[in-house]
Amino acid sequence: MAMTTTIESTTSTIARPNWARALGVVGAVIAAAAVWAIAVPLLGVQLLVRFGTGAPESVGIAYVVGAGVIGSVAGWGLLVLLERRTSRARTIWTAIAIVAILMSLSLPLYAGVSTSTKVTLAVMHVGVAAVLIPAMRRGSGLQRGA
């Protein structure tokens, strides 16, 4: 009977971080989509980006959601990988996540066609990070050490 209790307890502990992380991904995507929904339809911002000498391209909601999901799941995957390799996974991942958000802010500044596009895209990036980083850190309760 004691073994069953231990297994149930371990399963419950393992499931909670995954739920917190999954909700973090959903929350990050919602944050980006909310910024888009306020800026584009409500405020009339035309989100146009240009890479190099190419024609300006519109940033639609599908792109915002897709990028949010891909980036968030990639971050989650990195954290899982780090947790399997080091007891300081949460600390290392947080440092990488902060550097990644700082680097990602250069994209709107570089590719945004207008000031309103640059500001909107920067707010999206920060919104995703503000939701995702704490959610992933909170979800990493199984880690030893950090």
Which two tokens mark 24?
């973090």
Question: Is 143 among the domain residues?
Answer: no
Label residue 55 left, alpha or beta by phi (over 0 means left) and psi (-120 to 50 means alpha): beta
Structure confidence at residue 48 (pLDDT): 94
Residue 11: pLDDT above 80? Answer: no
Structure confidence at residue 18 (pLDDT): 84
Beta strands 57-58 and 48-49, pairing class: antiparallel
Place of tokens 């209790």: 5
Structure confidence at residue 103 (pLDDT): 94
Question: Is 145 among the domain residues?
Answer: no
8 Å CB contact between 107 and 121: yes
Residue 141: pLDDT above 70? Answer: no
Cβ neighbours, 10 Å, residue 1: 5
Question: Is 80 among the domain residues?
Answer: yes
Question: Is 83 among the domain residues?
Answer: yes
* Domain total of the chain: 1
pTM of the model: 0.81
8 Å CB contact between 138 and 21: no
Average pLDDT, the chain: 87
Q: Which domain holds residue 111?
A: 2-138
At 72-118, the pLDDT tens digits run 999 999 999 999 999 999 999 999 999 999 999 998 888 989 999 99
Question: Is 146 among the domain residues?
Answer: no
Q: Return the closest-CA partner of residue 47 out of 107, 120, 106, 123.
A: 120
Residue 130: pLDDT above 70? Answer: yes
At 45-63, the pLDDT tens digits run 999 999 989 999 999 999 9
